[in-house]
Amino acid sequence: MFGEYSIGDLGAIFAMQGFAGLILFSVYVLMALGLAIIFGQMGVINMAHGEFMILGAYVTWMTSNFFQSYLPSLFAGYFFIAMILAFIASGALGMLVEWGLIRHLYKRPLDTLLATWGLSLILQQAYRSIFGAREVGVELPQWMLGSKQVTDTIEIPINGMFVMALTVLITAAVSYVLFWSRWGRQVRAVVQNRVMAGAVGINTEKIDRYTFGLGCGIAGIAGSAFTMIGSTGPTSGQLYIVDTFLVVVFGGAASLFGTIASAFSISQAQSTMEFFMSGSMAKVLTLLAIVAILMVRPQGLFALKVRK
């Protein structure tokens, strides 16, 4: 299958596909970061995570419409405001869901899967009723369009670079919050030993609520970033949820670094193979490889060593 390409061609193909893979990587990382916090830290399976992402996308879409009609002079910067709004909207909904649903189910992880699946159906239908069944696209500001020519054969779109810069920023922020801030220490304390953490004066219920909210809020940002590269419909979230869970599990559920590494390898494998065969076969092979590796190494690539 490589026969008909010269070495130079192959280099360019890998570079181009590699870059396309990097955009997919960014979406995976942004979605998986939120999921890794919720699943890895709290042990909750949030099947509605995709719908939180789509909420962020719809918020971005509404913001862009608002700016277009009322503040056209500021349109170039709407995206930054949209992202903050997306974070707040998804995070607030997440905290509401934690209060109404998740906190009753902490001891039954498999049941959180069913309950949040029900929630995702409700959210999907709500989006359909409010925004219509058709997919909507966001208009990008002028400075995000176009691309940068690197060499004769390699061309990098600006919105792709923006998404990646955003991913780096968010990842750095999340790891700072979780590993260095006072609040992050409390989160990790609650995860390791809930009773003891409560005994030393940490309000575990509050920590749970904010952790879940943070995870959902990051999903909202992922949705916001998602609008730059694709259109949004009521069921778009469902397309990504299985992939994202595999990313988290493959990386090792409690390890943020593992999540990033697995998102990278999965997105690169998928996008490189897509050039040589149909997209569906590339997807099948990627998923099969992940499942096979997980069977050999069920704890994922980067598992924390813990006693059970």
How far is the C-alpha of 81 from the C-alpha of 255, rounded, in Å? 30
Give the binding-site size for other proteins (rule: CB under 8 A).
41
How far is the C-alpha of 217 from the C-alpha of 162, rounded, in Å? 19
Beta-carbon contacts of residue 181 (< 8 Å; ≥ 6 apart):
none
Per CB under 8 A, does 245 bind other proteins?
yes
Per CB under 8 A, does 278 bind other proteins?
yes
Q: Distance of alpha carbon 251 from its chain centroid, rounded?
A: 14
Q: What is the DSSP string of 56-73?
A: HHHHHHHHHHHHHHH-GG
Please, which of residues 96-115 interact with other proteins by CB under 8 A?
101, 104-105, 107-111, 113-115
Please say whether the beta carbons of 171 and 260 come within 8 A: yes
Beta-carbon contacts of residue 57 (< 8 Å; ≥ 6 apart):
86, 138, 223, 224, 226, 227, 232, 236
Per CB under 8 A, does 194 bind other proteins?
no
Nearest Cα to Cα of residue 79 among 240, 221, 234: 221
Per CB under 8 A, does 294 bind other proteins?
yes
User: Measured from the CB of residue 108, what is the shortest distance to other proteins in angstroms?
Assistant: 6
User: Measured from the CB of residue 275, what is the shortest distance to other proteins in angstroms?
Assistant: 16
User: Measured from the CB of residue 195, what is the shortest distance to other proteins in angstroms?
Assistant: 17
Per CB under 8 A, does 295 bind other proteins?
yes
Per CB under 8 A, does 307 bind other proteins?
no
Per CB under 8 A, does 302 bind other proteins?
no
Comparing CB distances to other proteins, the nearer of 140 and 246 is 246
Per CB under 8 A, does 71 bind other proteins?
no
Among 37, 54, 59, 119, binds other proteins (CB under 8 A): 119
- Going by their DSSP bridges, the two strands 147-149 and 155-157 should be labelled as antiparallel
Comparing CB distances to other proteins, the nearer of 157 and 233 is 233
Stretch touching other proteins by CB under 8 A, among 53-61, 70-78, 223-231, 237-245: 237-245
How far is the C-alpha of 208 from the C-alpha of 174, rounded, in Å? 16
Residue with tokens 């061609």: 9
Comparing CB distances to other proteins, the nearer of 107 and 305 is 107
Please say whether the beta carbons of 39 and 248 come within 8 A: yes
- Give the residues lining the site for other proteins (CB under 8 A): 43, 45, 101, 104-105, 107-111, 113-115, 117-122, 124-126, 128-129, 238, 242, 245-246, 249, 278, 280-281, 283-284, 287-288, 290-291, 294-295, 298
